[in-house]
């Protein structure tokens, strides 16, 4: 087990708030640097699971069919608020690793402008090796989540 799994609560990524500072690029770079600390994919998967456990739960009333994403094998609910200047996203899944993927996407895209969301590529996905290590169904789910986030950004930017 890598030493990173023994971080103190002060050092761990806080998902208590999705309030992001900096840019999409800086958020992606932070994720890349965090994943570089792990020697193998079992540790990286465990980190994803731990991130997912820190997501704030959605209210039962928010888990509606219209917020349920198509294209995900597991259930994923995406709630969006805001406008073209700043979009906030909250999401939950019934699957542990998918919840971790959600946590990463929220770090990168929540509290960003629609324009920033639409003009930035999720380069962290390839940089940390997700493209090579996710099952096809999880990769499809990740793409469905990215598409949904971009669709929300597109809908408020017109």
Residues 6+ apart with CB under 8 A from 25: 120
Domain boundaries, the chain: 22-157
Whether 15 sits among the annotated catalytic residues: the reply is no
Confidence (pLDDT) at 145: 96
Confidence (pLDDT) at 11: 40
> Going residue by residue through the chain (158 aa), what tens digit of pLDDT does each one get?
333 333 333 344 433 334 456 899 999 999 999 999 999 999 999 999 999 999 999 999 999 999 999 888 899 999 999 999 999 999 999 999 999 999 999 999 999 999 999 999 999 999 999 989 999 999 999 999 999 999 999 999 97
Confidence (pLDDT) at 20: 58
Which CATH fold topology does 22-157 show? Sufe protein. Chain: A (3.90.1010)
Contact status, residue 71 vs residue 136, Cβ threshold 8 Å = no
Confidence (pLDDT) at 21: 61
Could you tell me the pTM of the whole model? Answer: 0.86
Closest by Cα among 144, 158, 40, 43 to 102: 144
Element holding 100 (H helix, E strand): helix 96-109
Q: Give dist(CA 92, CA 103) in Å, integer.
A: 9
Q: Give dist(CA 88, CA 149) in Å, integer.
A: 10
- Among the listed residues 4, 27, 55, 72, the single catalytic one is 72
């Amino acid at each position: 087990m890598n030493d990173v799994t023994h971080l103190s609560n002060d050092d761990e990524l806080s998902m208590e708030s999705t309030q992001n500072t900096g840019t999409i690029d800086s958020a992606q770079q932070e994720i890349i640097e965090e994943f570089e600390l792990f020697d193998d994919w079992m540790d990286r998967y465990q980190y994803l699971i731990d991130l997912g456990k820190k997501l704030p739960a959605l209210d039962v009333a928010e888990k509606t069919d219209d917020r349920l994403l198509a294209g995900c094998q597991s259930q994923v609910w995406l709630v969006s608020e805001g406008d073209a200047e700043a979009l906030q996203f909250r999401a939950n899944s019934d699957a542990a690793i998918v919840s971790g993927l959600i946590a990463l996407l929220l770090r990168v895209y929540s509290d960003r402008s629609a324009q920033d969301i639409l003009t930035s590529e999720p380069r962290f996905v390839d940089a940390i090796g997700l493209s090579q290590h996710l099952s096809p169904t999880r990769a499809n789910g990740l793409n469905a989540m990215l598409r949904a986030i971009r669709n929300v950004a597109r809908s408020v930017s017109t």
